């Protein structure tokens, strides 16, 4: 993780307004995302690329606003264009990853935002809401309103700088509703901001051939024979889309270690 570019996320409390402001500059994290795509021969058309990057951005800001031992996974199913955006991450360590699914996506006739949250010692939670349109940050705002029951706004600023502001108890929701992107640049002058904490996040999945072998091992032998018919298996990570070539001999040695 030390060789990866870090996105520093700062969390502030907006006094008098009772709102939580989370912001970060994402250029470095996006750079590692593009290096990941190049390494594994992946390429997205520009519109889908922006959607995935903003999904990663929204998740990162969300994680920074949540308890440090909480992890989240979001599946954003879009009806038009038909695809699934998947992003996941946590704060210990601070890392996020994700991918786009465009093949064999079932058309549900509507767009859905599915969120799964896990926290140590607590029962995992899942929520699902419908949303309109294809703007990812607007979908996340809708998720907050419907599922988290908290008014939340996202703002795109120049130089890949993003801001999330969420209502806390007794928040000035009229002020938050009427905020514009042009107000954010001078917000520290117009409002009293108190820095709460700073967190760091990288784009990293942590996958490897060995970590993907359990997925293969659940296949029946006849399917494994097809997968390894050329003497190796081409494995794609379901979390980040990374591609690996696994020789049959390596897989067999791994299986032998599991039963030893």
- pLDDT tens-place string over residues 13-61: 999 999 999 999 999 999 999 999 999 999 999 999 999 999 999 999 9
Query: How many other C-beta atoms can be found within 10 angstroms of the C-beta atom of residue 146?
Result: 14
Instruction: Please tell me the pTM assigned to this model.
Output: 0.94
182-187 mean pLDDT: 94
Radius of gyration of the chain (CA): 20
Distance CA 222, CA 260 (A): 23
Distance CA 1, CA 203 (A): 9
Tell me: the pLDDT tens digits for 118-145?
998 889 999 999 999 999 999 999 999 9
Say which DSSP state 52 is in. H
Tell me: the pLDDT tens digits for 201-228?
999 999 999 999 999 999 999 999 999 9
Distance CA 131, CA 256 (A): 48
Q: At 59, is the secondary structure helix, strand, or coil?
A: helix
Beta-strand relationship, 193-203 and 94-101: parallel
Instruction: List the domains of the chain with CATH numbers.
Output: 7-203 (3.55.30.10), 209-259 (3.90.1280.10)
Distance CA 6, CA 9 (A): 9
Nearest to 70 by CA among 78, 79, 62, 82: 62
């Amino acid at each position: 993780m030390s060789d990866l570019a870090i996105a520093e996320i700062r969390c502030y409390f907006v006094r008098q307004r009772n709102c939580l402001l989370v912001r970060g500059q994402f250029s470095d994290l996006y750079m590692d995302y593009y290096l990941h795509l190049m390494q594994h021969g992946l390429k997205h058309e520009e519109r889908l690329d922006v959607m995935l990057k903003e999904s990663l951005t929204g998740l990162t800001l969300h994680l920074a606003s949540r308890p440090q031992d909480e992890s989240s996974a979001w599946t954003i199913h879009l009806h038009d264009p038909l695809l699934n955006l998947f992003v996941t991450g946590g704060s210990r360590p601070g890392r996020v990853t994700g991918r786009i699914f465009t093949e064999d996506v079932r058309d549900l006739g509507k767009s859905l935002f599915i969120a799964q949250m896990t926290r140590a010692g607590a029962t995992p939670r899942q929520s699902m809401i419908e949303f309109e349109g294809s703007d990812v940050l607007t979908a996340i705002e809708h998720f907050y309103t419907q599922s988290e029951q908290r008014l939340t706004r996202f703002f795109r600023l120049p130089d890949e700088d993003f801001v999330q502001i969420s209502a806390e108890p007794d928040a000035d929701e009229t002020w938050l509703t009427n905020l514009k992107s042009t107000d954010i640049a001078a917000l520290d002058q117009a409002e009293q901001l108190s820095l709460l904490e700073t967190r760091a996040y990288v784009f990293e999945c942590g996958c490897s051939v060995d970590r993907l072998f359990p997925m293969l091992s659940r296949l029946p032998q006849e399917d494994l024979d097809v997968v390894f018919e050329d003497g190796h298996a081409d494995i794609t990570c379901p979390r980040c889309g990374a591609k690996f070539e696994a020789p049959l001999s390596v897989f067999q040695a791994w299986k032998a270690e599991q039963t030893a």
